[in-house]
Structure 1
Amino acid sequence: MKVLIVEDEPALRAALVEYLTQDGFRCEQAAGYAAAHEKVKLYEYDAVLLDLTLPDGRGLDLLRTLKADRSAAGVLILTARDALADKLAGLELGADDYLTKPFHLAEVSARLRAVLRRRHFEGQPKVEFAGIVVDLATTAVTVHGQPVILTRKQYELLLYFLAHPGRVLTKEALAEHAWGDGVDAVDSFDFIYTHLKNLRQKLQEAGGGQYLRTVYGLGYQLLDPDA
């Protein structure tokens, strides 16, 4: 799950990045409105962790931008204890949830995972597709009941495909999702092929068939091999 953390307080931002990264999230960060606005215009995110009080703009305006652009990102807003009006305004504009400062980092992680389930998987604790089952809480993966051991990158790529079944995903989009926004500076995305080849092999060895199809010149898509 790729998350943009928009928070101007350096210590809190660093703590969020460290904790969420250790908990399996792919974290990008922005210290203010301008930097965050540039990122949401250039990149896609699964979720945005949004402080509403920023030094160079309003978090609510960034939320308006996300909604105007029809972004698929879930939004978890962070507010001061007494900022009831901001909470209500954020929810009215389409934020998925809010947390009041101070908060426990574990709760941030749990809320973000809940946003992911609601946004992409209809709130279900498990994702199922043509024999593939992913437990979002434990990250356990099975294919037709057989456990499949994936690396972190393979898991992130599989989850991204499961969030967009049938959609052709480019190598650039896959790389950006699993490796972060900085990957757009690389000269070639050929390394994606190796990761997808290994993911394909593991799914097949568990009896899953050809789930990942190459669409030459465009990218890759997840399909039901028996359809």
Structure 2
Amino acid sequence: MKILIIEDEIALQQSIAESLEKENFLVETAADYHSAVEKVFVYQYDCILLDIMLPKGSGLDILEELKKVGKAENVIIISAKDSLDDKLKGLELGADDYLTKPFHLAELNARVKAVLRRKNQQGKNTIELRNTVLDLNERQFFVNDKNIPLNRKEFDILNYFLLNKKRLVTKTGLAEHVWGDNSDQADNLDFVYYQIKNLRKKLQEAQAEIEIESTYGIGYKLIEK
């Protein structure tokens, strides 16, 4: 799997590259608009990490051109917290995800793997694991073919866990992914615990062959029973 990092902060660029290389990804980098354009339109990448604010140009312009040629999929925008308008525009242009700086490298790795897993689902609209099925189109969850009602946040949380099964998901990363920018306004992450608690109860009562395991002080992991 080949990943392109388009990021002008060299220290951050190198940290991301080293982290992804430890996960056995092939990594290439670009530090400005022109070198990025040269690479994205000549080579094929499985995932592109795209900063919006670049020397000599905008990452959104790159994304817009990628969309025109049908290559905007598997792009994760990495940019500053105060650029909500850029975030929305990026998602409208086809970006798969958005991660605000600063972020944990483990969270970025999880996002990259989630995007790649979605790509490898080859258009399937369900995620199946053991005796459970998550229907992404109808936003329904089934255990042994029985519909288990989930609220919106429970569904989004379970979807994120299934895309990152057996991988540690931090509380902060989960909150940012499911609640977005609103998570920054919270004094603590008790709202994450509350939703996880309810979701666990529903999984247990439905006799699902998956469960959410806690890693004290860090986060959670979805495992098979």
TM-score by length of structure 1 reads: 0.54
AA at the equivalent of 1:30: A
Deviations 1:15-68 (A, max 9, x none): 010010001211110001111101011100111000001011000011011111
Alpha-carbon distance change, 72 to 86 in structure 1, aligned in 2, over 3 angstroms: closer
Aligned partner of 2:211 in structure 1 is: none
The alpha carbon displacement at 1:5 in A equals 0.3
User: What residue number does 1:112 align with?
Assistant: 112
- Match of 2:30? 30
Q: Does 1:67 align with 2:67?
A: yes
Mapped partners of 1:36, 1:49: distance in 2? 11
Post-superposition offset of 1:118? 1.3
In 2: Cα distance, 1:8 partner to 1:125 partner? 39
RMSD: 2.3
Aligned partners of 2:76 and 2:23: how far apart in 1? 17
How far 1:108 moved relative to its partner?
0.6
Pick closer, same or farther for the CA change 1:110–1:2 going to 2, 3 Å: same
Structure 2 unaligned spans of 5+: 130-163, 167-225
Residue 81 of structure 1 contacts residue 100 of structure 1 at CA under 8 Å; is this kept in 2? Answer: yes
Aligned length: 131
CA contact (8 A) 2:72 2:94 kept: no
Indicate if the aligned counterparts of 1:118 and 1:124 stay in contact, CA closer than 8 A.
no
Letter in 2 for 1:8: D
SS at match of 2:61: helix
Is 1:78 the counterpart of 2:67? The answer is no
CA distance in 1: counterparts of 2:88 and 2:17, whole angstroms: 26
User: Which residue identity lines up with residue 116 of structure 1 in the other structure?
Assistant: L
Equivalent AA in structure 2 for residue 118 of structure 1: R
Q: Does 1:47 align with 2:43?
A: no
Partners of 2:74 and 2:115 within 8 A in 1: yes
- Any conservation in 2 of the 1:117–1:124 contact (CA below 8 Å)? no
Tell whether the 8 Å contact from 1:3 to 1:45 is kept in structure 2 after alignment: yes
Specify the alignment match of 2:9 in structure 1: 9
Structure 2 SS opposite 1:61: helix
> Separation in 1 of the partners of 2:73 and 2:85?
23
Distance, in Å, in 1 between the alignment partners of 2:43 and 2:109 is 21
**What are the Cα deviations for residues 182-224 of structure 1, in whole angstroms up to 9, with x where unaligned?**
xxxxxxxxxxxxxxxxxxxxxxxxxxxxxxxxxxxxxxxxxxx
State the 1:125 CA deviation.
8.1
Change (3 A) 1:35 1:137: farther
User: Which gives a bigger RCO, structure 1 or 2 (Cα 8 Å, sep 6+)?
Assistant: 1
Tell me how far apart the structure 1 counterparts of residues 94 and 75 of structure 2 sit (CA, whole Å): 8
Q: Secondary structure at the match of 2:41?
A: helix
Question: Is this contact kept in 1: 2:73–2:95, CA < 8 A?
Answer: no
In the alignment, is the contact (CA less than 8 A) between 2:2 and 2:47 conserved in 1?
yes
**1:77–1:90: 8 Å Cα contact kept in structure 2?**
yes
